[in-house]
Structure 1
Amino acid sequence: MAAGGSTQQSLRRAIGALKDSTKVGLAKVNSGYKALDIAIVKATNHDEVLAKEKHIRTIFGALSSSTPRADVAYCIQALAKRLAKTQNWAVALKTLIVMHRAMREIDSTFREEFINYSQNRALMLNLSHFKDDSGPNAWNYSAWVRVYALYLEEHLECFRLLKYDIQTYHSRTRELDTPDLLEQLPALQQLLFRLLACQPEGAAVYNKLIQYALSILAGECVKLYGAITNGILNLVDKYFEMQKHDAVRALEIYQKAGNQAEKLSEFFEICRGLDFGRVQFVKIEQPPATFMTAMEEYVKDTPCTLAHHPITYPTNDVKVNLKKNAIREDNRVSDQKQDFDVEEILDPSLTSPEPPSSDQIEAAAKLQVTELLDLDELIQEASELDEKNAFEVAIFTSGDIFSLIFSIGVQLLVF
């Protein structure tokens, strides 16, 4: 059986190589875009190794903003055709890698053209029925190719909705107003959901092509979750002033962020075991339950908005007590790191007979946040590391950045 399987695999490789050489020969004779067509075939051939960079650069040259739009459209169509017709996992995966790298390395005009092409025709990244049944490993690789394609499709959808590249403008969510925040955060969380689904299993864990694609995903996870965390910080800052229907949606977003933090732990464990070069991890911590309780109490205590009636917000005492309960719990975790006793500020019985003002609460919370770590510095370090080496991926986790809100200490682990 083993010998028969090896013979069959060798035969498939020979047939694949013959198909590639035939396509190259036809491109030399019949194509008006000879150099481009040859580069596409060679960059996405049946060989189960990474494509040569010179072929990738030829393709990217045809997709740049300085290239006539007709040529860009032809290149996208050629890649789409290559993806749609293949039943080989290596060809499909290498084609997706070319598309993914183009999204990262070419300006936004490519993504716009990509979106227009997909909307005017069938979704080119729809590989829900793709399978390579040439063997157990090929079947396993096919499953990973399908979830990778779903992530890239979601990537384009997120760009279409946000109208900006989250990898470049990851801090923009910190400045969004409430309506945009409630629209964009779910889109970013859905993108993260698709990314986390790309956690490889079985033979896919050890495949070098899949590991290469995964290294790109791991790098993108840094800024993606940075954008989500910036949005969560913004959301929490606005939460206790929201109307009830907005607060309900915000609470759902906050809860989902906590759930995704747990999934990130699993994803990072897989990444840590792979040969990405120097990888940095930050230990994931979960926020205290008291803050979630405070948010849930706020939703309960905030009356629904009725037609023709003014909006009724909770009293300052209610909001102060909700924030006070959450922050007091955090002080128990980080009191050794503080030079002052926040509880004395928050508990009127320890200071004065009059309750503290909202400004005092906000000032104390803000001081806690700024004393821990600067999110932009972490992301900038990750960017510089990524630029230095494609396999040197800096990864920080949900919980620790999430913990900015709660004053949970950060521990940096370097593997």
Structure 2
Amino acid sequence: MVRITNMKDLIGIIKDKLSLSKLTLLSNPKTSYLHIAVLRTTSHSPSTPPNDHHLATILSLGDSSRATASTIIHSLITRLHRTTNSHVALKCLLTIHHIIKRGPFILKDHLRILPSTKGRNNLKLSSFRDGTSPATWALSAWVRWYARYIETILFTSKNMDFDIYSSLIEKEKQRDFISSGMNSDLIRDVGLLVGVIEEICKVPDNLLVERDRLVRGVMELLGNDYLSMVNGILFRLGEFKERVGLLSFNDSVELGSVLDRLTACKEKSLRLFSVRKISVETLWEMIEELNSKIGVGGVSQLGLVTGL
């Protein structure tokens, strides 16, 4: 049962009921059920994450046809752009995040059609503000940051040869692909994955993580994303361990720069995700090892180039 804590919550619930009634009476019967599914998943109920059943419904409906997938994404993005409510906006972004992580291909493909500006304001929420209360004002910072993060993973997904949330079967294929990949392509991929971790580390610092269930839901997804990025980077750095003696000077410099960016995220990421994983510990150890080898190789190659 929804707990109503203030007048705005009550107004939001009334708005949802009116919207449901309007969709039932006035919308095209062939598509109204899709808009209703989006509305129920992104209700005004404060601090309540999208219901698992409602999310599952959207993911299932989105796998039926391209027309259906298009309608769902359009309805979701329209609701995101029209709302001034921080809770609704966060729920829309959470739903998009779930679609990217575990949605059917045709549903994810319609998200990929969104205009690409290298992860910058594709979702047009950089100026989002909900000034209803101090709490919603603070939550607005999460909306703006979360939109940037979603834009970043959409951009990364578009520019990687593999899904950044690969299944076990895909990871085996990915290993084979990586072993035959060019150095420049692998460095590019590592840079893209590091970019996702960099954006994770820009998450707003405030007490909402403890108080707000929606924010806690976001952090749970981020924790899983972080481990996915770590594993993707490990695959590629493992290949570079095999090739380190064969890297050109330029490749060594570019790889070293990417590893420096990742190292700069270490302290913040360890604070955000306190649970220790073997993959994470292995990553930092591998970075130290590669930096050491690249440094020695880079100096010797520099000497050859400059004639010293």
TM over 0.5: yes
- Count how many residue pairs are aligned between Structure 1 and Structure 2: 288
| Alignment correspondent of 2:25 | 29
Matched, 1:192 2:197: yes
Q: Distance in 1 between matches of 2:43 and 2:289?
A: 55
Residue by residue, what CA displacement relative to the aligned partner does 1:86-114 show, whole Å, maximum 9, x if unpaired? 11111001111111111122233322211
Q: Distance in 1 between matches of 2:134 and 2:153?
A: 29
| Alignment correspondent of 1:181 | 186
Q: Distance in 1 between matches of 2:197 and 2:272?
A: 11
What's the offset of the Cα at 1:231? 1.5
Q: Which amino acid aligns with 1:96?
A: L
| Alignment correspondent of 1:57 | 56
- Which of the residues 224, 245, 254 maps onto 1:249? 254
- Which of the residues 49, 65, 68 maps onto 1:68? 65
| Alignment correspondent of 2:133 | 135
CA distance change for structure 1 residues 57 and 50 in 2, over 3 Å: closer, same or farther?
same
| Alignment correspondent of 1:385 | none
Q: Distance in 2 between matches of 1:258 and 1:233?
A: 17
| Alignment correspondent of 1:201 | 206
| Alignment correspondent of 1:159 | 157
Q: Which amino acid aligns with 1:14?
A: L
- Which of the residues 9, 14, 20 maps onto 1:18? 14
Q: Which amino acid aligns with 1:100?
A: H
Q: How does 1:89-168 map to 2 (within 5 A)?
A: 89-119=86-116, 125-168=123-166
What's the offset of the Cα at 1:224? 1.3
Q: Which amino acid aligns with 2:300?
A: D
Q: When the two structures are superposed, what TM-score results if normalisation uses the length of structure 1?
A: 0.63
Q: Distance in 2 between matches of 1:284 and 1:261?
A: 11
CA distance change for structure 1 residues 264 and 100 in 2, over 3 Å: closer, same or farther?
same
Q: Distance in 1 between matches of 2:35 and 2:187?
A: 44
Q: When the two structures are superposed, what TM-score results if normalisation uses the length of structure 2?
A: 0.83
SS state at 1:302 partner: helix
Tell which deviates more after alignment, 74-83 or 158-167.
158-167
Q: Distance in 1 between matches of 2:110 and 2:130?
A: 29
Contact 1:80-1:124 within 8 A present in 2 as well: no
Q: Distance in 2 between matches of 1:196 and 1:45?
A: 28
What's the offset of the Cα at 1:301? 2.1
What's the offset of the Cα at 1:134? 1.2
Q: Which amino acid aligns with 1:116?
A: I
Q: Distance in 1 between matches of 2:10 and 2:245?
A: 65
Q: Distance in 2 between matches of 1:87 and 1:230?
A: 42
Q: Distance in 2 between matches of 1:253 and 1:124?
A: 25
| Alignment correspondent of 1:38 | 36
Q: Distance in 2 between matches of 1:161 and 1:237?
A: 25
CA distance change for structure 1 residues 184 and 109 in 2, over 3 Å: closer, same or farther?
same
| Alignment correspondent of 1:84 | 81
Greater C-alpha radius of gyration:
1
SS state at 1:129 partner: coil
| Alignment correspondent of 2:295 | 296
What's the offset of the Cα at 1:26? 0.8
Contact 2:153-2:196 within 8 A present in 1 as well: yes
Contact 1:140-1:204 within 8 A present in 2 as well: no
Residue by residue, what CA displacement relative to the aligned partner does 1:188-247 show, whole Å, maximum 9, x if unpaired? 100111122236522343211111121122112212111112222222332221221111
Q: Distance in 2 between matches of 1:30 and 1:170?
A: 47
What's the offset of the Cα at 1:138? 1.1
Q: Distance in 2 between matches of 1:290 and 1:75?
A: 47
Q: Which amino acid aligns with 1:24?
A: L
Contact 1:82-1:95 within 8 A present in 2 as well: yes
Residue by residue, what CA displacement relative to the aligned partner does 1:233-284 show, whole Å, maximum 9, x if unpaired? 2223322212211111011122223222332211113xx5xxxxxxx64585
Contact 1:111-1:156 within 8 A present in 2 as well: no
CA distance change for structure 1 residues 85 and 297 in 2, over 3 Å: closer, same or farther?
same
Q: Equivalent pairs: percent with the same residue? A: 20
SS state at 1:118 partner: coil
Contact 2:86-2:140 within 8 A present in 1 as well: yes
Q: Distance in 2 between matches of 1:186 and 1:56?
A: 32
Q: Which amino acid aligns with 2:7?
A: L
Contact 2:125-2:144 within 8 A present in 1 as well: yes
Contact 1:60-1:106 within 8 A present in 2 as well: yes
Q: Distance in 2 between matches of 1:291 and 1:242?
A: 12
CA distance change for structure 1 residues 292 and 179 in 2, over 3 Å: closer, same or farther?
closer
Q: How does 1:324-403 map to 2 (within 5 A)?
A: none
CA distance change for structure 1 residues 82 and 124 in 2, over 3 Å: closer, same or farther?
farther
CA distance change for structure 1 residues 291 and 23 in 2, over 3 Å: closer, same or farther?
closer
Unaligned runs of 5+ in 1: 1-6, 273-279, 305-311, 314-415
What's the offset of the Cα at 1:299? 1.6
Contact 2:37-2:58 within 8 A present in 1 as well: yes
Q: How does 1:215-294 map to 2 (within 5 A)?
A: 215-269=220-274, 281-282=277-278, 284=281, 287=285, 292-294=291-293
CA distance change for structure 1 residues 180 and 291 in 2, over 3 Å: closer, same or farther?
closer
Q: Which amino acid aligns with 1:101?
A: H
